[in-house]
Amino acid sequence: MQQLFEHIYSSPIGRIKIVADIECIHALTFIEDAEPSSNTEGIESPAIIHQCIDELIDYFNGSRTQFTVPIHQSGTEFQQKVWKELYEVPYAKTMSYGELAKKLGAPKVIRAAASANGKNKIAIIVPCHRIIGSDRNLTGYAWGLSRKKWLLQHEFRIGLGVQTLFA
């Protein structure tokens, strides 16, 4: 097993813990301010973490709509299918949980798809924030609805020029 490295990146909507080996990102999760930073003093972060941070900076600055940093997260075959579909949702677009289930070829697996969506550990890059309720309202986000709202409004402002998406 390869060594994993951690780095904390301070984004406009909170601190993000990046976990990677030398080849790919394994997790990108928001952490609360009370959570201690990893002790990484004196440890050189691999280039993949620097690439991820550069891409996040570009995303938050509005100059990146797609990520190229390699990613990998472990999960069941079904979870992998869901995460692949999430990855395909275009920037500044949303999809309902029902639409996600239909894309998976099984319209009745809405709850299972929602559960797999919630287990995504690579926030922003695997854009689970782009999945909304069938009534087009914000529902569920592991890192808080205020972050989900911010991310969607950021993307709609940059991608479509829409100033306010959700009240």
Q: Which of 124, 128, 131, 152 is catalytic?
A: 128
Listing from the earlier edge strand, what are the strands of the sheet with 25-31?
5-11, 14-20, 25-31
Q: Cα–Cα distances in Å, from 31 out to 14, 116, 129?
A: 7, 20, 16
User: HSE of 152 in the Cβ direction (CA atoms, 13 Å)?
Assistant: 24
Residue 1 in tokens? 């097993």
What is the C-alpha to C-alpha distance for residues 23 and 152, in angstroms, rounded to an integer? 29
Catalogue the E-assigned strands of the chain: 5-11, 14-20, 25-31, 95-96, 131-132
Are 108 and 102 a contacting pair, CB within 8 Å? no
128 classed as catalytic: yes
φ, ψ for residue 153 (rounded to 5)? -65, -40
Active site residues: 128
